Chains A and B, each alone.
Chain A
Amino acid sequence: MSIIKATLRRELLIAFRSPGDIINPLMFFVIAVSLFPLGVGADQAFLSEIAPGVVWVTALLAVMLSMDSLFRADYEDGSLEQLLLSPQPLYFIILAKVSSHWLVSGLPLVILAPVFASMLALPEGGMFPLVAGLLIGTPILTLLGAVGMALTVGLSRSGLLLSVLILPLYIPVLVFGTGIVNSALNSIDISGLLALLGAMLVLALCLAPLAIIAALRISVSL
């Protein structure tokens, strides 16, 4: 337990000491969402129709772009190697690391999402489903992104490669996330879909850290 606390503390401290890493993905989200009305026109009816998809796709891209700060610095200064050598249970260290990353990159997106959804004229009935979906969905995105990041952290040209590896795996989350909002707007019960998304989160929580550990071991031995 104490190792989880210590890792969380360390990661959050590092994150808050370089606020740029926290703010840039959020700014990306804000700017990218604002591009859509400029690109497709400001027709309120049309915007409200595409709002769930736009918010979800930009949130997904923002999470992916924020991944770079997860292992990069630790890899470069060697602390990742020490982490892998430590006698503490690696599964929980990784879980704490990914959770703290979600707290500073995923959670702010969830909080900001309703503001931008209402700017895109999303009807009020879609607000709660959007936030609930993002709250369950963004941790899955962070976990899957961490797998991709762990695989590519040792490579010098990893930016675009990460998106090629990870975006296809994000598709189910996107489908269910936007599906939840659209179902709610068509007054269909969303509890089943939220449960499915929750099941995906549980699966990712169980399996993704194992894949991350395996991938980090490969990257460190390069």
Chain B
Amino acid sequence: MWQWFFKLSSPKWFYTISGQLMPWLATLTTLLLGVGLVWGLAFTPPDYQMGENYRIAYIHVPSAAIAMGCYYMMACMAAAFLIWRIKMADMIAKACAPVGMTFTALALFTGSVWGIPTWGTWWIWDARLTSTLIMLFLFIGVMALRSAYDSEAAGAKATAVLTLVGVVNVPIITYSVKWWNTLHQGASSLSLSNTAANPPQIWVPAFFVGFGLLGFYLIAIILRTRNEILMRERRTEWVDEILSASKSKGQGLS
């Protein structure tokens, strides 16, 4: 197990393995997303209350879940980087921030679009909406801090510290906002996670889309990390070999 762990922390090994894994992951993601989206958006029955617009939830729910998971993944990578000085962990953490921010923004955007016909408003200060918005701010802060540092190494460490301070705060923020919300306007009875009310023909395509988006998320992280590896290891021999090989073939990197 430990051997696997140390292997994973070698950029070269990560680059090779992720390159071999990528076609499989891409095929699987395309299949899942294709089947799930066509099934979910075109062939499921409309909801008796929300009509057609509940279909937005097929994108909205997975992207919100992935965004939250992304922050925790970034925090794990930050901890691994600070504790064991694994450079690989920092490269993945760096890839997490923009991807997580995009998924958070996607969740907020789809939520607003869904809110207009359902709630009659773009935005309410509901506990979930508010804590998702705060998470967007946290992602932005992490990215802003990294870009403010000229030195790559110092920026990586500072970002890792900030990410860990943030992750201690995430549960506190979530609960404080929940509490604030119940004090001001009462808990929202609209819950998308209420699976008991939904028949299988609705949640099975949701599974397809959910895992498809998860695959897409992993692909985005892996591609960004591979890019980062090439940038940082550009002076090593193995990167040179890959670059000259792809140049002579006249193709993209494989």
Contacts and interface: CB of A to CB of B under 8 A. Distances in A.
A158 interface: yes
A23 interface: no
B161 A172 contact: no
B133 to A, nearest CB: 9
A147 B176 CA distance: 21
Contacts of B154: 154, 218-219, 221-222
Contact of A161 (B144, B166, B169): B144
A158 B151 CA distance: 15
A137 to B, nearest CB: 12
A164 B162 CA distance: 12
A200 B166 CA distance: 14
Interface in B130-181: 134, 137-138, 140-141, 144-145, 148-149, 151, 154, 157-158, 161-162, 164-166, 168-169, 172-173, 176-177, 179-180
A151 B145 contact: yes
Contacts of B183: 179, 182-183
Contacts of A219: 154, 158
Interface in B177-193: 177, 179-180, 183
- Best-surrounded residue of A157, A158, A172, A183 (most CB of chain B within 10 A): A172
Contacts of B82: 214
Contacts of B177: 171, 175
Contacts of A176: 176, 179
B141 A211 contact: no
A200 B148 contact: no
Contacts of A183: 183
Interface in A145-175: 147, 151-152, 154-155, 157-158, 161, 164-165, 167-169, 171-172, 175
A103 interface: no
Contacts of A218: 154, 157-158, 161
Given A207-B168, A211-B165, A218-B154, A168 B176 contact: no
A168 B137 contact: yes
Instruction: Determine chain A's interface SS by DSSP, over half rule.
Output: helix
A84 interface: no
B165 A164 contact: no
A135 interface: no
Contacts of A179: 179-180, 183
Contacts of A167: 137
A215 interface: yes
Given A151-B161, A175-B180, A218-B157, A169 B169 contact: yes
Nearest to A178: B180
Interface of B: 82, 134, 137-138, 140-141, 144-145, 148-149, 151, 154, 157-158, 161-162, 164-166, 168-169, 172-173, 176-177, 179-180, 183
**Top 9 A-B residue pairs of the complex, sorted by shortest distance between their CB atoms:** A172-B176, A168-B137, A175-B176, A175-B180, A165-B141, A218-B157, A172-B172, A151-B158, A164-B141
14 contacts: A151-B162, A152-B145, A154-B154, A157-B148, A161-B144, A161-B145, A164-B144, A168-B134, A169-B166, A172-B172, A175-B177, A176-B176, A179-B179, A215-B158
Given A151-B158, A200-B172, 15 more contacts: A147-B165, A151-B161, A151-B162, A157-B148, A164-B140, A165-B144, A167-B137, A168-B141, A168-B173, A169-B165, A175-B176, A175-B179, A203-B168, A211-B165, A219-B154
